[in-house]
Amino acid sequence: MSTSTTPVATTSTTGRARTTGPGPAAMLALEVRDEMRMIRREPAALFFSVLMPVMFYTLFVSLFGNQFPSGGSRPVGTLMLATFGTYGAIVATMMNPGISLATARENGWFEAIRVSPVPVGVHLAAKVLATVPFVAGILVAMTTASAALGVLEVSVGEWFALVAALVVGSQSFALVGLVVGALASPNAATAILNAIIMPAAVASGLWFPLESMPDWVSTVARVLPTYHLAELAATPLGGGPWMTHLVVLVAFTGLAGLAAAAAWRRADA
Amino acid sequence: MADRSDPLRVRDVQFTYPAAARPALAGVDLDVRPGECLALLGPNGAGKTTLIRTITGLRSPDAGIVRVAGGDPRQASTRSHIGVMLQSTAFPSHLTVRELVDGAAARAGRTTGDVDDVLDEVGLVDLAGRRSQALSGGQRRRLQLARALVVDPVLLVLDEPTEGLDAESRRATWDNLAARRDAGMAILLTTHLVTEAGEAADRVAVIADGRIVADASPDVLVHGLPDRTIHLNTTVSLATVRALPAVDHVTVTSTGDAVRSTLAITTRRPEGILRSLLVADPGARDLRVVGASLEDAVLAITADRDRLARRPPDDVPGPSRRSPADPSSAPTASVPAAAAPARRLTERTTA
């Protein structure tokens, strides 16, 4: 992929020299910049996708964070960085791209994008990538809260591994948001995404340990990608083998990609 | 590289919506040359929107060729040479006017130095720092125009460009577009304001049933229509006027009292009717005789087409009374009725 183009001068009606447009990487950077501006300037989006997961985390850590799991050496508050971090990451990566795509489709802005020099794929990728700083911000805020509450026991290397797992792993969930955003109205997209995220969070043990729930919930959790993302994120904190979780997440990404392509074809018909 | 000498070339473009009984585009040919403004007119459902969507790359034709500046508009690189003003005036609400115009320039490879000039041109320079959500409908329309102009396009596509603008802004918009056209920009516009289109456009293409059925200068279309309209305030009764020879159509535009009324009489031979009316009512007042408008011409063209399309195939149509075309070249039974008017009315100057 080229990051720049060879300037090619053409005659313009205004008499100024013009060049061909920016390369894909530069175009992506422009799109990400605008997407981040939009998220940053939308207080409601910031509250629901950034502040609320952090507030949930802080509340639960205040209640249970200084306990230790049986046979474990780290406080529950530290382990919750993986589970609540997963919740925060999927909220940011699913809700923001999904709702903003649904809104742009409904109000006509998406058509303006499609007649512009921006490839649709670049525009959608920018929606997803623009969530990365917010996911990182959520994890930094949760880490700060756990440190303030005295339950943080993690090395810098372990912390970076956890953040990397969540930032990269959550990107595939953005595809689900784009599927919903390509097919539903903004209000319906919000409701549908919440209807996906909330049960998945509970059933994957992101809010409460699976051990505290009925056995069938644990069975359900095994087929949910949210569960496997949380387990992958917990690996640096002393979790079990990670390969199975990675394979499940890669397979989920493939399926979500196929669904996104099908949704796009239907929306574009 | 953009071919500025060939802004738009459409050849035999066909498109049928899934499950539709008839094609939305049934073999459209169209060109716009550098420094030319073409108005695309036609009734609702004629295919205007589908054609615009095809030209701007929003829709792929089933068959045929669309080339903008020598390239395929479905390619993003080609779209950097198209300035588009769609009907929808939506923008991301939290971005400012300057950010939106600057973003359009940057994505098309234009320098941001042009942004101030364009904002000044459309009268938004004082609102550059305002977020789009705080703009009025007319300001949003001008913002759309700024985003379309700032890319210095080879082809400017305008869908209802003056919708929502006040009279002053409308005038300014047409003046801006005329200046751009004079500088060599090719412009394709659609509007329901046919009179404005006639003033702004060098050529008018009329689309009906997915085909271009007329393609000529506004003057040629209007002068080809023989109709004249007599307006007068008279005591002569409606029934009497209707009974006069050569009266095509009469409407009462206002009724002043029980005795007088204001009439609009459409005819091809106004002289005889005027003589008869003035004999019957020497006190007739507010007398005016006006020629056909471009709107009349467009209506006549599309009505003519509808009438011909309803005829059975073996019914040889004679010259249309309301047709602006030369009656000597009226379609015959051997010419498909649907295609005939287009041939009569086409005044193409392209090869």
CATH number reported for the structural domain that contains residue B50 in this entry: 3.40.50.300
Shared domain for B205 and B238, answered yes or no, is no
> How far does Cα A139 stand from its chain's mean position?
12
Residue closest to B159 by CA, chosen among B148, B167, B150: B148
Query: Is B259 within the bounds of a domain?
Result: yes
Shared domain for B74 and B173, answered yes or no, is yes
For chain B of 351 residues, list the mean pLDDT of each consecutive stretch of 10.
Answer: 86 93 94 95 90 94 95 92 90 94 91 84 94 93 94 93 86 91 94 85 92 89 79 89 87 76 87 89 88 79 65 41 36 29 35 29
* DSSP letter, residue B123: T
Shared domain for B278 and B175, answered yes or no, is no
Distance CA A155, CA A176 (A): 33
Total domains present in chain B: 2
Cβ contacts of residue B312 below 8 Å, gap of 6+?
none
Query: Is B343 within the bounds of a domain?
Result: yes
Q: Dump pLDDT digits (tens) for A120-133.
A: 989 999 999 999 99
Shared domain for B72 and B56, answered yes or no, is yes
Chain B contact for A12 (CB, 8 A cutoff): yes
SS3 annotation, A175-221 = HHHHHHHHHCCHHHHHHHHHHHHHHHHHHCCCCCCHHHCCHHHHHHH
Mark which of B272, B291, B310 sits at the end of a domain: B291
Query: Is B123 within the bounds of a domain?
Result: no
Interface contact flag, B108 A117, Cβ < 8 Å: yes
SS3 annotation, B163-231 = CCCCHHHHHHHHHHHHHHHHCCCEEEEECCCHHHHHHHCCEEEEEECCEEEEEECHHHHHHCCCCEEEE
Distance CA B86, CA B69 (A): 20
Type and span of the H or E element at B141: helix B137-149
Token representation of residue B175? 């003046």
Shared domain for B27 and B61, answered yes or no, is yes
Query: Is B213 within the bounds of a domain?
Result: yes
CATH at residue B276: 3.30.70.260
Shared domain for B13 and B70, answered yes or no, is yes
Which carries the bigger pLDDT value, residue B198 or residue A199?
A199
Distance CA A72, CA A76 (A): 9
Interface contact flag, A22 B4, Cβ < 8 Å: no
Shared domain for B68 and B180, answered yes or no, is yes
Residues 82-111 of A with CB under 8 A from B: 104, 107-109, 111
Interface test with A, best of B53, B56, B62, B94 (most A CBs within 10 A): B94
Residue A18 has a pLDDT of 53
Residue B207 domain boundaries: 8-81+153-222+330-350
Chain A contact for B54 (CB, 8 A cutoff): no
Mark which of B274, B291, B308 sits at the end of a domain: B291
Q: Which among A16, A37, A114 is the nearest to B95, CB-wise? A: A37
Q: How many CB atoms lie within 10 A of CB B96?
A: 18
Q: Dump pLDDT digits (tens) for A90-116.
A: 999 999 999 999 999 999 999 999 999
Query: Is B95 within the bounds of a domain?
Result: no
Contact A181, A105 (CB under 8 A): yes
Interface contact flag, A20 B88, Cβ < 8 Å: no
Query: Is B40 within the bounds of a domain?
Result: yes
Residue A163 has a pLDDT of 95
Residue B315 has a pLDDT of 40
Residue A211 has a pLDDT of 86
Distance CA B306, CA B229 (A): 23
Residue A269 has a pLDDT of 64
Its ipTM equals: 0.82
Query: Is B140 within the bounds of a domain?
Result: no
Shared domain for B165 and B281, answered yes or no, is no
Residue B70 has a pLDDT of 93
Shared domain for B162 and B211, answered yes or no, is yes
Residue B309 has a pLDDT of 58
Chain A contact for B184 (CB, 8 A cutoff): yes
Shared domain for B250 and B169, answered yes or no, is no
Which carries the bigger pLDDT value, residue A212 or residue B347?
A212
Interface test with B, best of A13, A31, A266 (most B CBs within 10 A): A13
Distance CA B47, CA B64 (A): 15
Interface contact flag, B152 A14, Cβ < 8 Å: yes
Which residues of chain A does B70 touch, with a Cβ-Cβ cutoff of 8 Å? none
Contact B16, B10 (CB under 8 A): no
